[in-house]
């Protein structure tokens, strides 16, 4: 199987488009095939400088390496469409010679008036083929320098194909416009370039968004005219936001790389994307990239739109953080804990790992340990804890830490639990006293580990300050 991801360099990649890339990548890897990255930049008006670099960076960050494409030599170089213009023009000439395409010199004003008239009569807006019957005149006009576009001549009848995801799809060709294949500047439109490239690059399975279903008859017409065997088509469902509307760049969908800055890890992003429209056939939802490769098949993709749930991503992110190799996590936290040393982060990771939903949570969780400033103990004792219980917990903790028990955390934990029970207090509520005293909040990293990180002197300073407030 040879699949491809062919993004347009019109800005950073968002969740929906990368989900399509992931499905193509997984399908290729599962079959032992190849994955091609191709940059489709023929729409120069929408081109945004630097977008190609963002595409490459995004896929590399997610671990979706390609076999052929930019930065990877391959038999079909170059993999950027604007560098392949002559190839498209050659095949466009073939379409003209075979009677499958024709030149059109209609001015934009005429086309606008034509469409307005069609709308006024509630007719489909499509080209009226005025130039099809006057090709000699069109040739003379082109010779005189008049701008012209090349249009596909849609054949009569119907177009049908078996979509891998949606089954049999049928279109009546009379409802399909004669699509422009070459623009007046000589650049191909998507509809010509995509067919030529998919054929020349031996793509076996075209996996793309379902928004391209109405265009597929046009593409199949080009395949038919050039006597090429078309690939299999798999049109994946749209990704909707929590509001039920399509997730897209135009509606403010977040750049995938932004998720990295917000503390999401690649494994969780990939995991969440895979579950948007695909089912493993089991109750399991947490997968590594390799596990997805082993399980993924196109026939398990659903046709119905998939809803992106940020809460599900949060849950998966927390799971994957807890599964990370310790050293990988230490290095990953450098961005979120700037100025900390490797050794400091190694000491923090055991406390942070279980409590982070995103890596960005490390900043807040670690702040009471790194700032060097005693936390705010304004609300003390914490709500729901009797002063007598607070005094007992602090006295017991101060005595134990002063006696060197931070070196025996389990023993210290047991002593404090016994103190809470002796005063008929709930253990969780009683421990909130220590959390507020040491960390300034009723929850956070494990308080005994936090005191060990601070060291006996700093821990005692905070405990005694809290005790002094109680009198």
User: Distance between CA 282 and CA 82 in Å, rounded?
Assistant: 44
Beta-ladder partners of 247: none
Contact status, residue 324 vs residue 332, Cβ threshold 8 Å = yes
**Interatomic CA distance for residues 8 and 43, integer angstroms:** 8
Nearest one of 9, 18, 6 to 51, comparing CA atoms: 9
HSE at residue 75, side-chain half, CA atoms within 13 A, is 5
The answer to whether 183 is a known catalytic residue is no
Cis peptide before 300 (omega within 30 of 0): no
CB of 430 closer than 8 Å to CB of 396:
no
DSSP annotation string for 99-153: TSEEEE---HHHHHHHHHHHHHTT-------GGGGGHHHHHHHHHTT---EEEE-
Task: Give the span between the Cα atoms of 471 and 459, in whole angstroms.
Answer: 19
Alpha helices for 181-251 (secondary structure H): 190-200, 216-225
> Given 183, 246, 249, 363, which residue is catalytic?
249
C-alpha to C-alpha distance for 194 and 9, rounded to whole angstroms: 15
Give the integer Cα–Cα distance in Å for 155 and 176.
10
Residue with tokens 């060709």: 173
Exposure of 271 in the CB half-sphere (CA atoms within 13 A)? 22
Handedness of CA 126, 130, 135, 137 (dihedral sign): negative
Catalytic residues: 249
């Amino acid at each position: 199987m040879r699949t491809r991801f062919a993004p347009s360099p019109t800005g950073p990649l968002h969740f929906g488009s990368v989900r399509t890339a992931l499905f193509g990548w997984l399908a290729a890897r599962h079959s032992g095939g190849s994955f091609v990255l191709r940059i489709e930049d023929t729409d120069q008006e929408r081109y945004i400088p630097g977008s190609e670099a963002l595409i490459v960076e995004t896929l590399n960050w997610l671990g979706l390496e390609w076999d052929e494409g930019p930065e990877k030599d391959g038999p079909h170089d170059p993999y950027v469409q604007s560098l392949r213009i002559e190839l498209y023009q050659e095949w466009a000439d073939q379409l003209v010679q075979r009677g499958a395409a024709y030149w059109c010199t209609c001015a934009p004003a005429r086309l606008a008036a034509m469409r307005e008239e069609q709308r006024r009569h509630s007719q489909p807006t499509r080209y009226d083929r005025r130039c099809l019957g006057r090709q000699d005149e069109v040739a003379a006009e082109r010779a005189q320098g008049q701008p012209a576009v090349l249009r596909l001549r849609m054949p009569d009848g119907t177009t049908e194909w078996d979509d891998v995801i949606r089954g049999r799809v049928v279109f009546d060709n009379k409802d399909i416009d004669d699509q422009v294949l070459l623009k007046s500047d000589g650049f191909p439109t998507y509809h010509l370039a995509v067919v030529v490239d998919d054929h020349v690059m031996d793509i076996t399975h075209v996996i793309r968004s379902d928004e391209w279903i109405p265009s597929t008859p046009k593409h199949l017409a080009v395949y038919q005219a050039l006597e090429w065997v078309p690939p299999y088509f798999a049109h994946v469902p749209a990704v909707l936001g929590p509001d039920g509307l399509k997730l897209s760049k135009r509606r403010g969908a977040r750049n995938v790389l932004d998720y990295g800055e917000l503390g999401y890890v690649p494994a969780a992003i990939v995991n969440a994307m895979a579950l948007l429209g695909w089912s493993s056939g089991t109750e399991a939802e947490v997968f590594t990239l390799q596990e997805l490769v082993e399980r993924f098949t196109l026939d398990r993709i659903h046709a119905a739109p998939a809803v992106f749930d940020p809460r599900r991503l949060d849950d998966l992110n927390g799971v994957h953080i807890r599964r990370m190799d310790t050293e990988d996590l230490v290095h990953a936290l450098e961005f979120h804990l700037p100025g900390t040393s490797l050794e400091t982060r190694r000491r923090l990771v055991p406390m942070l790992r279980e409590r982070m939903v995103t890596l960005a949570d490390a900043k807040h969780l670690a702040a009471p340990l790194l700032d060097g400033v005693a936390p705010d103990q304004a609300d003390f004792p914490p709500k729901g804890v009797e002063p007598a219980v607070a005094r007992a917990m602090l006295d017991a903790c101060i005595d134990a830490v002063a006696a060197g028990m931070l070196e025996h955390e389990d023993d210290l934990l047991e002593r404090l639990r016994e103190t809470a029970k002796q005063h008929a207090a709930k253990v969780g509520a009683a421990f909130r006293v220590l959390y507020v005293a040491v960390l300034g909040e009723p929850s956070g990293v494990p308080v005994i580990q936090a005191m060990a990180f601070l060291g006996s002197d700093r821990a005692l300073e905070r405990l005694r300050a809290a005790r002094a407030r109680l009198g």
